[in-house]
Chain A
Amino acid sequence: MVTIITDPIDMNSAYQHVAADEAGAVVFFFGTVRNNTQKRAVERLEYESYDAMAIRKMQEIVDQACQQWNVQRYAVIHRKGNLQIGDMAVLVGVSTPHRADAFDAARYIIDTLKKEVPIWKKEVFEDGEVWVDAHP
């Protein structure tokens, strides 16, 4: 399952989706909204996505991970819209027969997602806002 949603991410249903009888390991990564960036207080984040391309790129990344590691089942869910401190912005879950593959595959998926998938976030502060990483 690879998807982009506006509603809160439901980790229980994601777990039900990822768990597999063949898997002895399930690893989940949750990316959450932090209350500061470089010690500046963040009020909220606004996420925006080029949905069609983002979903395709996420699927490509997952397919690469499935070729490289013995992934049984997976879920990659990214949330968009306005997110508050503590909200879950992204979930990556994989199940594999043994734990090393699960850690490595989950790490690869989130690291590559952050580099390649067309999703953007704006940090909103009390006194301004900034698109993350947009400028040198």
Chain B
Amino acid sequence: MSKTVSVLLFGITREIVGTSSLATAIPPSGEIGDLLDTLRERYPALSGLRSLLVAVNGEYAELNTKITPKDEIALIPPVSGG
């Protein structure tokens, strides 16, 4: 059985996916980039965004960052505060 991680969703990603938190399988590589690819396949509208970053435990992460079930993952679409 594959391990899962919960992904927090905000703004337009929350609306695309239809929920503010999603449990999803950690890819075999354990890498953020592969998790993103899986989500883009499942929710094609994510590919239409100007950018889509990932935060791990509240810090911007690289695509090759490895994740574990304990990590807090968040999708960060283009920010627009201020």
Give A contacts to B, CB under 8 Å.
Answer: 31, 47-50, 52-54, 56, 78, 89-90, 110, 113-122, 131-136
B80–A131 contact, CB under 8 A? yes
Indicate which residue in B14, B48, B49, B55 contacts A118 across the interface (CB closer than 8 Å). B55
Question: 8 Å CB contacts to A: which residues of B43-82?
Answer: 48-50, 55, 58-59, 74, 76-82
Residues of B within 8 A of A136 (CB): 50
Residues of A within 8 A of B11 (CB): 48, 120, 122, 131, 134
B80–A121 contact, CB under 8 A? yes
A116–B79 contact, CB under 8 A? yes
A25→B79 CA distance, assembly (Å): 31
Indicate which residue in A110, A121, A134 contacts B50 across the interface (CB closer than 8 Å). A134
B82–A131 contact, CB under 8 A? no
SS of A interface (majority): mixed
A78–B81 contact, CB under 8 A? yes
Number of interface residues of B (CB under 8 A): 20
A47→B82 CA distance, assembly (Å): 10
Residues of B within 8 A of A121 (CB): 80-81
B82–A89 contact, CB under 8 A? yes
A120–B81 contact, CB under 8 A? yes
A50–B74 contact, CB under 8 A? yes
B77–A114 contact, CB under 8 A? no
Contact with A along B6-24 (1 / 0, CB 8 A): 0010111011000000000
A54→B74 CA distance, assembly (Å): 12
Contact with A along B24-53 (1 / 0, CB 8 A): 000000000000000000000000111000
